[in-house]
Structure 1
């Protein structure tokens, strides 16, 4: 009998998202009321959206996160359960409220405002050892929003790998702009899932600006590296640098598709043009697609194609989970 009960265990953030579509770039203060085309209350958090998408793709999925003992926490757990995600190991914190996020959407761009609540209380010790040992793969999201989890992540991934599981990490953005603490984590991370700006920022933080010189010029400060999408030469350097640390970097490039670096060679997959309704959670749906494909044994480039398709299809409706595809939709 297989040791695994779950194909995927996601450890990370979960919160309600209030998505405001057509938001003005500069909301007026002074108690001015402005009308917007639409707004909705949906499941949010990179980890929660990835878990929901993976379950929709047919993976036996469990999620470990921390929510408050409040209506927002109940909303999150109910939403995950309704999507087929096991939340029996989630921690309900009686002392601190559930994290909340407001997403202001303007076309394919967005501003994100998060009250972290109990988010930063999640730690590696909240993951039951027995659950860790029954998962084929362990994915962690939002590294920089969860400092206790980040501090114990190298050990958690070490335990997972010792039990026979593979590992992946989507750091998401670092609000502090430091991108620190990953040197010990990346060597025990099988798959790293940044976007272009995150890949460049992480590589610059780990290698340093001198080692990160591109075209004879220094790679620049970490804060500058994270400001926008990387150029071709910079991104090529970043994925090679990350791969040298023992991880497989698979970089999300939005409308440009995805780029990976494995076995000494780059691998690229284009994206299909699409009309974007809402890009919230597209990267998390990409994560779910890539992991579902790799766990089914697909080769890397084919898995990347599935991932790009999942990310693209998820933009058909507002919110991170409303338009996430099934496996059949993603592969036909």
Structure 2
């Protein structure tokens, strides 16, 4: 029987309070500072990826945890309003995660209260629902991380393809990924993350990006790296493919990497070549920066 969904995205979802033009140095002592702008938007790498995929026409479901609070209702409403199925999202007695993004041009600082995120587990992930499963924010969800190698192995044994975007490790340790990557079909880090994971696995620091991608790919996955102004790089089966950046004047870069993920997965699930997948991904990531927040400017397939 055919899967009900093309894509199941597993991971984090939370409100983002995005403050534009934030000062680099914060003053305590109850000092008040004014910034250029502020928005309340849907956040979380998994949530933004899910919205981008649905916008591109994939039948998309989301599995994660939110609290039984106003923030959780906001998250579920935003996801559902963008065409993402949320019937498999768990409502937790603990509070929904919350994030404040301090944006300064294309750079940003991120402050997150994890709330119920650490309590998501592999048991919360529905089986047999989609033909591809993507996992986001590995290091924010230790309960899920502990069971992830077995979960991904089970999914692949059932014919489901898998992908992973760890996002940043707040502790800077980058532990536990060798077993996970061995069960991952596509690994989607940015350049800094790719080098950090490769260095943790090998003890070799300062590698060129191509060498770091090859080291990660030797564990099994295709490695697709977001490389900022340099576009993107992919390593698969010993071959390196590059795609150039798409020039845009960014309004807000929050979630651009997640929109990149959505574009890559949408193209790959359509059976496109690796270079075509990279071009779609880079374009999706770039176009998503045209408005505040991670989802407001995500493109449709027709727009691409």
Report the 3-state secondary structure (helix = DSSP H, G, I; strand = E; otherwise coil) of the residue aligned with 2:31: coil
Unaligned residue ranges in structure 1 (runs of 5+): 213-218, 220-224, 226-232
Question: Please, which of 186, 199, 204 is the counterpart of residue 204 of structure 1?
Answer: 199
Q: How does 1:130-279 map to 2 (within 5 A)?
A: 132-207=127-202, 209=203, 212=204, 219=205, 234-279=208-253
Report the 3-state secondary structure (helix = DSSP H, G, I; strand = E; otherwise coil) of the residue aligned with 2:179: coil
CA distance in structure 1 between the aligned counterparts of 2:188 and 2:99, rounded to whole angstroms = 22
CA distance in structure 2 between the aligned counterparts of 1:264 and 1:138, rounded to whole angstroms = 24
Question: Please, which of 249, 261, 279 is the counterpart of residue 287 of structure 1?
Answer: 261
Q: How does 1:30-109 map to 2 (within 5 A)?
A: 30-94=29-93, 96-109=94-107
TM-score (norm 2): 0.98
Maintained 8 Å contact 2:222/2:237: no
Q: State the shift of 1:262 in Å.
A: 1.3
Report the 3-state secondary structure (helix = DSSP H, G, I; strand = E; otherwise coil) of the residue aligned with 1:320: coil
CA distance in structure 1 between the aligned counterparts of 2:22 and 2:3, rounded to whole angstroms = 45
CA distance in structure 2 between the aligned counterparts of 1:88 and 1:328, rounded to whole angstroms = 28
Q: State the shift of 1:134 in Å.
A: 2.5
CA distance in structure 1 between the aligned counterparts of 2:111 and 2:220, rounded to whole angstroms = 34
CA distance in structure 2 between the aligned counterparts of 1:65 and 1:241, rounded to whole angstroms = 31
Q: How does 1:118-129 map to 2 (within 5 A)?
A: 118-128=116-126
Q: State the shift of 1:247 in Å.
A: 0.7
Q: State the shift of 1:319 in Å.
A: 0.2
Q: State the shift of 1:160 in Å.
A: 1.1
The answer on 1:310 being equivalent to 2:284 is yes
Maintained 8 Å contact 2:167/2:189: yes
Per-residue Cα deviation, 1:244-278 (whole angstroms, up to 9, x for no partner): 11110000011211001112111000012110110
Q: How many residues align?
A: 304
CA distance in structure 2 between the aligned counterparts of 1:239 and 1:321, rounded to whole angstroms = 28
Per-residue Cα deviation, 1:271-290 (whole angstroms, up to 9, x for no partner): 12110110000000000000
Unaligned residue ranges in structure 2 (runs of 5+): none
Per-residue Cα deviation, 1:190-223 (whole angstroms, up to 9, x for no partner): 000000010011111112x2xx3xxxxxx2xxxx
Moved over 3 A (4+): none
Maintained 8 Å contact 1:3/1:134: no
TM-score (norm 1): 0.90
CA distance in structure 2 between the aligned counterparts of 1:183 and 1:255, rounded to whole angstroms = 29
Q: State the shift of 1:36 in Å.
A: 1.0
State the partner residue of 1:110. Answer: 108
CA distance in structure 1 between the aligned counterparts of 2:246 and 2:132, rounded to whole angstroms = 29
State the partner residue of 1:228. Answer: none
Report the 3-state secondary structure (helix = DSSP H, G, I; strand = E; otherwise coil) of the residue aligned with 1:47: helix
